[in-house]
Structure formats: structure tokens, C-alpha cells
Structure 1
Amino acid sequence: MPELQPSPWWSPDRHADRRPFLIARNRITTAVRAWFEARDFVEVETPALQVSPGNEAHLHAFATEAIGPGGGRSPLYLRTSPEFAAKKLLAAGEIRTFELARVWRNRERGPLHHPEFTLLEWYRVGETYETLMADCAGLLAVAAEAAGTDVLSFRGLSIDPLADPQRLTLAEAFDRFAKIDLLATVEADGATDRDALAAAAAGIAVRVAPDDTWADVFSRVLVEKIEPRLGRERATILCDYPVSEAALARPKAADPRVAERFELYACGVELANCFGELTDPAEQRRRFEIEMAEKTRVYGERYPVDEDFLTALARMPDASGGALGLDRLVMLAAGASHIEQVLWAPVAEAP
């Protein structure tokens, strides 16, 4: 006898189980909007259809095409983030913006991943990325208050959302949790020593394949040895990424081996990714080409560069920007264990 399949999300009993999480989502969304508006941010709406979905090697987009009145066809993509359009608005003169943006990423599905999700993205012109660290701490507190809880929790871990986040650089994290001198494998110009990092990783029983790049080894150590240790008891801000792992962030003035990038973790879950924004179009193009060369090598495809974005980047003022997974924040504040519990209408899963 074939195994019975779970009831669909719209069955009344299943919806009744999910509804408390969904009502919490609404309260959190309302509170987040109010938090930004109280700080003189303008809520914006940017298009979901883009000529480029982004140029990061391991982000995968949904492709479509536009058909003109005369029948001409041109490729378009559903955005993986609103970043390019949001930065064009900064070039146009906006100072503080935020968007609760619906975004799409292919090849992603699981307890913390969904092909369609909501990304909270915000920008501050003329302000440092340290300001975004304070923003992230504030958003944790706002979400908890809106959900009526004094803890954020996931898979048996919980944190105090009102506690100041711990700050930890990537170099400190690799040393503390993996006993690896990360920056010894990064040159002053950002070039990386794959063999040195691979040898160090192999020495702590992290698998290294012959065709792994430095970035592959870096990611595997991060996922296996470091991320599970982050965001325990209080949130963790993991900062100062090697510049090769921060394609849209500017290098730190004090140490060009690392970039003004940080990620926010709570209960072992990555919640946010924030930058001091790169505004050099020539350098940005160079980094995009590196990313697309890697995408071609690994996946046999590449995405176009948004030339309009690079033109706007030359006029964009110094700024900092952050992106936070709203669905994940709701999960932690509402006590959900799977992202589909906090989505009003999840996307059907392919067989």
C-alpha cells in the first residue's frame, strides 16, 4: 500500500496549526515597518523582474523572458535580491530606504530555505556598517516584542534578543573554533593560498577534494566548524570577511585583506548579511567577472551583468546596506521549526 502523503498546506487542520505563526508574522512585519519609519526611512518598491538576477557564483535564479509588442524577445530573471535597484535609488538621491521584498532563489529548499521568500533590505547613505550592527540588534528586539516573547529559539537553542550581540571577526572565529590562521592564507591584495588553507582544513578532519578552490575550503570549514557555534545565548555578529568572500563590499581601510561585511547569527541560524557598500564600478565589474567565471566552471552557466547598475554605481554615494531574512526572523520569534510554517501560502514542491 503506498505511503500517504502529507495533507496540503490549505487543509483546515494543517492551516489551524500554522495560523498562530502566521499571525505572529503579521505583527512582526507591522512592527518592523514602524521601526524603520520612526527612523526616517522611506519604504520603497523595486521590480521583481531584472535584466540580471545578481552575479554571485552560487546563487541560482528563475529565468523568464519579455515579449515586446512586435514579438521581440529578451531574457529576464526574477530577482534574487532587490540590491541593484535599491542602489540605483541611492544614486537617484534617496538617503534611507527599506523594502520588504519578495525574492526568488532556485535550487534552495529545506527547513530554512524556500524558493520564494521575503528579504528585508535597507540602506543608509553616509553611515558606516557598524550602524547596521546596531540596526540588527534593534530588529531582534522588535521581532521578539511583536511576537510577545523574551527569547528567540530554534532546534533547542535560545537567545536573549535584548542582549548586545557578540562581535567576532572571521579570523577570530577560525582561530577559536578551527585552530586555523585564516589571514595567513590571504595576501595583501586579496589573493588567496588554496594549498595552505586546504592543508590546515585537512589537519582538523575537514574533507578537501582535489578540485576544491580556496573558497570551497573556506565555506566547508565555516559550515562545519564555525556556524553551529554562533548565536548561542546571544546573537553573534561575524565580521571582517576576506575580501574574496565579499563581492559587493568595500575593503577595510585598516586591512585590505578583509572587507566591510558582517553576518548576523542567532541560534546557529544566519539571519542577515550586511556591507559597507563598494562604489567603484571598475572594481565591481572585475569581481562580477570572477564570480561568473566560477559559476561557469561549476554550473556551466552565467548571468549577464546589469550595465545600468554599474553606471549608477559611479554616482552612488558612500552607503551601508543590509539584507535580513524576514521569514527566518519570524521563525525564531514565533518558535517555528520549518520555514513553511511562517509562509501564508508555500510554493508547491516539485516531485
Structure 2
Amino acid sequence: MTTSPQSPWWTPSVHADRRPILLARNRIEATIRGYLAERDFLMVDPPGLQRSPGNETHLHAFATTLIGNDGEPETLYLQTSPEFTMKKLLAAGERRIASLGHVWRNRERGALHSPEFTMLEWYRVGEAYDVVMADCVAMLALAADAAGAKALRHRDRRCDPFAAPDRLSVADAFERFAGIDLLATLDREGATDADGLAHRMRAVGMTVPADYTWSYLFSLALTEKVEPNLGMGCVTILDEYPASEAALARKSARDARVAERFEIYACGVELANGFGELTDVGEQRRRFTAEMDEKHRLYGERYPLDEDFLAALAIMPEASGIAMGFDRVVMLVTGAPRIDAVMWAPVVEAGS
């Protein structure tokens, strides 16, 4: 019997078609676990339920209700990342840790996004963020090897995971691909000039909305002009994000306008996001508060701050860390068209 394209994933014939990719996924996972074990990483298992799911403006969580033994309700959230828990473990004394597990993000679904997906996250205490960059690049080559792939593929794009990566700053990428002098819109301490960025975007023919912030315009130009050109031919390490986009990264000691934040791209797809980790509690609290104020302005909601995390940050040692979208890596290694195609059991869509 022939099944239609709408047949469920558990239909035997559909599963038979998907199975080679799923077996490749398992080989990739085993290879990456081996890489981490050889380097004395301890695998940890953070809980999915958190009191705070993170404090970034555009990060949307799934909320749930915990009923205590006394019958009183408490709002908890499914983790959007294991980051807060893992940094508490660094504060507790662990030095090399990794986690491979499920995370959840709301308002996200598409070819590259699933509301539930697998994240690989790892941290190195006392090591520069260049080291976790190198980890990530090495893992991409190992993943390709494990699946017998010669290249990473997405649509008509190709990337050689065995070639030396191209490392460039965000400012250089904006100049190269968008014709925009990004640093000219930042003062010496990293404060932003939204009107200045809007003027430069209009000058290169970009449409600027009537209501904007510097951060919105930055994301717009990054998405439209820069990202589609990254990871073509070889992996791109996009380094030195503006300080205003630092998230949980510390500012660069070389230039206060930028931060020790980088992202890894292949075939125009973001695969990983890494930091030289911020340990200044006051600065982190200020950033979280500003992000939640903006979230409330845009979406009418805010998430609580994780006070335990901020307390742990005060004793956390200097470290570098990175989060990789494991499913996206499998997608590019196998050439799968959608993220659902590389999941053993995709999240059910409405109407299915």
C-alpha cells in the first residue's frame, strides 16, 4: 500500500524512509559523546523544570503549574537552555561539564525550529572561549565522518566541515555583506545609536520601519544581509558581537564596544552560540532587568530572575561555554530538509 505525503511519521513505510537518518543521528551522538569523554567532560543531567526559563527579550518559554503537597500552585517553566543549572554546577566546583538533552522554546516552529529540540551544551573552566570554538569545529568534522558525509548541506548550499573555518567579527561581516559601518553606531563604551544605524541601513537600500530600536535594526540587517552569506564553502565563526547583544557574555578586554560572544554558521544556518562567560553579578542583573523590561514592552509579559543563579554567579570561576543545536547539526550532515526529519518522534502539529 502506498502512503500519502500526509501519512504520520509512525506509518511503517514512512519510518523505513526516515530510519537511515535516525541511525546516522545515533552514530553522530555516540561520536560526540566519545569526543567529550576523551577530554574528561562530565555529562550532567539538568532538570527540565525551572523557576526562570531565562531572561532574553525574544526567548519564549512554556509555562506549567506545580501543585505543592499543600495544594498551593506555583508557576514553573520548561527549560529553554540548561545554562543556569550548569553554571551553578561550575560554582559548586565542576570544571568540565556537558549536557545533551531536550529544551523547549515557544513561538518557534519551521524548517529549522521545533518547539522541543535537543541541545548540546558544554563548559570549560579557566579556558579561553577560542577553545570551545575549536571544540565545535572539531565536532562538526566528527559528525560528518560518523555519517559518511563529505559536506554539510542545506537546500542548495554546501559547506566543507573539514576545511579551516573562516573567523570574522560581526563588524567585519556587516561591512563585507551589508556595506554598513556597525561600530560607527556605537560609542566607546558600547552604547548604541539607533538613528545612526537606521541612516546607514537606508543608505544601502534597506527598508527601516517607523518604530525601531537599535537591537531590532541589528537583528534585521543580520538576518537579511549577513547570515545568508555565512558558512559557505567552510564553517564561519562570527565573533565579537556588539556589547549590547552580549547576553551572558563578558565584554572584550580589547574593545569595550564588543563582547566575547560568537556564533557558528554552516550553509547560512546558525548551529551554535558561545560565550566567554560573564561573572559580574551586578552587570548580569542589569542586563536581565533591561531585557525583561523590553519583553514586557513588546509582549506584555516578563519572567522572574533566577536569584539562585545570580548568587551562584558571584562564586563561579572564569569559564567559557557554548550551546549547539544538535538536531540542526544532524540536518546539515544528512542533508535533511526539515528539523522534524531528524527527530525520532517529531512534536505533533495542530490538526495531526
Using structure 1 for the length normalisation, give the TM-score. Answer: 0.98
Is 2:262 aligned against 1:262? Answer: yes
Deviation at 1:343, TM superposition (A): 0.3
> What secondary structure is seen at the aligned counterpart in 2 of 1:262?
strand
2: CA distance between counterparts of 1:154 and 1:89? 36
Specify the SS of the correspondent of 2:172. Answer: helix
Q: How does 1:128-207 map to 2 (within 5 A)?
A: 128-207=128-207
Match of 2:248, SS? coil
The aligned counterpart of 1:210 is 210
Equivalence for 1:35:
35
Count of residues in correspondence between the two structures: 348
Tell me, what secondary structure is at the counterpart of 2:293? Answer: helix
> Once the 2 structures are TM-superposed, how far is the Cα of residue 58 of structure 1 from its aligned partner?
0.2
Q: Quote the residue 1:278 is aligned against.
A: 278
Q: The residue matched to 2:119 in structure 1 has which SS?
A: strand
Query: What is the SS of the residue equivalent to 2:315?
Result: coil
TM-score normalised by structure 2 residue count: 0.97
| Alignment partner of 1:303 is 2:303 | yes
> 1:167-196 CA deviation, whole Å, 9 max, x = no partner?
010110011111111011011222100000
Match of 1:227 in 2: 227
Q: Which residue of 1 aligns with 2:60?
A: 60
Q: Which residue matches 2:111?
A: 111
SS of the counterpart of 2:139?
Answer: helix
Q: 2:120 — aligned with what? A: 120
After superposition, residues 76-91 of structure 1 pair within 5 angstroms as 76-91=76-91
* Alpha-carbon distance between aligned partners in 1 of 2:96 and 2:170, rounded to the nearest angstrom: 29
Which residue is equivalent to 2:338?
338
User: Does 2:322 align with 1:327?
Assistant: no
Alpha-carbon distance in structure 1 between the residues aligned to 2:61 and 2:155:
29
- Which 5+ residue runs of structure 1 have no aligned equivalent? none
Secondary structure of the residue that 2:257 maps to in structure 1? Answer: strand
**Where does the alignment leave 5 or more consecutive residues of structure 2 unmatched?**
none
Q: Distance in 2 between matches of 1:192 and 1:346?
A: 41
Which position in structure 2 is the counterpart of 1:287?
287
Report the 3-state secondary structure (helix = DSSP H, G, I; strand = E; otherwise coil) of the residue aligned with 2:136.
helix
Deviating above 6 A after TM superposition, structure 1's stretches of 4 or more consecutive aligned residues are none
Residue type at the aligned position of 1:34: G
Report the Cα offset of residue 5 of structure 1: 7.5
The CA deviation at 1:314 is 0.2
Distance 2:68 2:250 in 1: 38
User: Which whole-Å deviations, capped at 9, do the CAs of 1:68-113 have from their partners, x for residues lacking one?
Assistant: 1110111100000000000000000000000002000001001100
Percent identical pairs in the alignment equals 62
Shift of 1:246: 1.2
Shift of 1:328: 0.3
Match status 1:95 vs 2:99: no
